[in-house]
Amino acid sequence: MAKITFIGAGSMVFSVKLVGDILSFPALDDSTVALMDIDESRLEKTTRVAEAMVDNEGLDATIQSTTDRREALDGADYVLNMINVGGTEPFENEIRIPERYGVEQAIGDTIGPGGIFRGLRTIPTMLDIASDIAEVCSDALLLNYTNPMSILCQTMFEATDVETVGLCHSVPHTAAAIADYVGVPEEELDYWVAGINHVAWFLEASHDGESVYPALHDAMDDPETYERDTVRFEMMRHFGYFPTESSHHMSEYVPYFRTDEATIEEMTGTDYAERMPTATYLEGWRERSDSRDDPELDVDLGEVTVDRSEEYASRLIHSVETDTRRRLNLNVSNETDAITSLPSDACVEVPVLVDGAGLHPCSVGELPSSIGTFPQQHAAVNRLVVEGALENDRAKVHRAVKQDPLTAAALELDEIHEMTEELLDANAAYLPDLN
């Protein structure tokens, strides 16, 4: 019987989805699920729904709930991390301060000023979690869902002995989109994907042994289909491969789409009319946060059932527990040179075989030259952020922001320096003690 601990379980919708995924496997439905969050009200909501799942389905699982992190971690076999550090204030700063300078971020959780500072404010807590894991469940596998994925996982690889893997749903979501665009069943699409998180690429995509890329190019020529995924289709048109992250995300990882309002509006497309503008995720996060803070639980507990989503966590745990081999796209250390064109200390997103012996990254080799520079750029920025945080080096944080592709396209160096200083001052309470 495995013990599976959720850190940050107050994110009810996502936590409940992952709990349901785990309980959907008969081999895991007698697990102990420990839910932990510092917000008692939100934690209580998640706990009630999780308990209803167990009761309604007649399962043998045990649901535990606590605000004490070490208690939740004690004896854990798997730790799912989905924390958000700092709440609204730093998130607002990370989006609105750059916006005043002319850096128009849609999401701001992976790279750019928003992603960099989100990483900096999260790293100290991640290191605290790692310290607790080392003391009370040293053999546990940490499954990280918190962004910025690459920055946080690379920090854990470098600064701790905790076995860590990063999980993201962008690859299965993109596979579903491609299958839809080319008109094939999603479960019949074969693919080979690699890069770094949110900047990975479908190197191959096929159906019945035939590449679907010709059909994907044909789909792009249909105006209605094109408008559903403008940025990703433009990236494929110019660089030959379809990226894994949605158009509103991808638009802020490259320098081409967010430097003037006319381009942002032109690239929005019909399906993204409310998603491409600046602060899309911030505004949505505010609405979801208000809903989560509502004292009323807007769920019919009698109707709660166990379902399985596309998320990887339950499949990974099931594979390790039952020695069932699966291939998943995961975020792992590049120490095995899975991608030879990226640094060996980078966090890479690659196909990984998972079984009872653990995680086995597949060898991808070099990324195609037409797209290889994109993850290389981001890996270089990630390296500076990690070094800046671990070495308390303010100058390296500045250099990370100055090398961000979108920021560099929008601002001059002195402007970036001034903006970064303002971000450092505004968010000082949440950051490492930078010198």
| 156 located within any domain | yes
State residue 390's pLDDT score.
Answer: 97
Q: Which domain holds residue 155?
A: 3-166
Provide the 10 A C-beta neighbour count for residue 355: 14
Give first-to-last CA distance, the chain, whole Å: 47
Catalytic status, residue 169: yes
The answer to whether the bond into 148 is cis (omega within 30° of 0) is yes
State residue 272's pLDDT score.
Answer: 47
| 185 located within any domain | no
Say if residues 172 and 192 touch (Cβ distance below 8 Å).
Answer: no
| 101 located within any domain | yes
Q: How confident is the model at residue 288 (pLDDT cuts 50, 70, 90)?
A: confident
Task: Give me the mean pLDDT over the 46-73 stretch.
Answer: 97
**Residue 153, domain CATH:** 3.40.50.720
The CA-atom distances, in angstroms, between 194 and each of 80, 135, 364, 375 are 23, 34, 7, 10
The CA-atom distances, in angstroms, between 173 and each of 189, 310, 311, 340, 343 are 12, 8, 10, 26, 27
| 308 located within any domain | no
pLDDT in tens, 390-424: 999 999 999 999 999 999 999 999 999 999 999 99
Q: How confident is the model at residue 262 (pLDDT cuts 50, 70, 90)?
A: confident
The CA-atom distances, in angstroms, between 364 and each of 221, 244, 339, 340 are 30, 16, 5, 8
> Tokens 């044909």, residue?
218
Q: How confident is the model at residue 137 (pLDDT cuts 50, 70, 90)?
A: very high
| 107 located within any domain | yes
Calpha distance 168→395 (Å, rounded) = 30
Q: How confident is the model at residue 261 (pLDDT cuts 50, 70, 90)?
A: confident
Q: Which of 71-75, 259-263, 343-347 has the lowest mean pLDDT?
A: 259-263
State residue 291's pLDDT score.
Answer: 66
> What is the count of structural domains for the chain?
1
State residue 326's pLDDT score.
Answer: 98
State residue 264's pLDDT score.
Answer: 79
State residue 260's pLDDT score.
Answer: 84
Annotated catalytic residue: which of 169, 173, 360, 417?
169
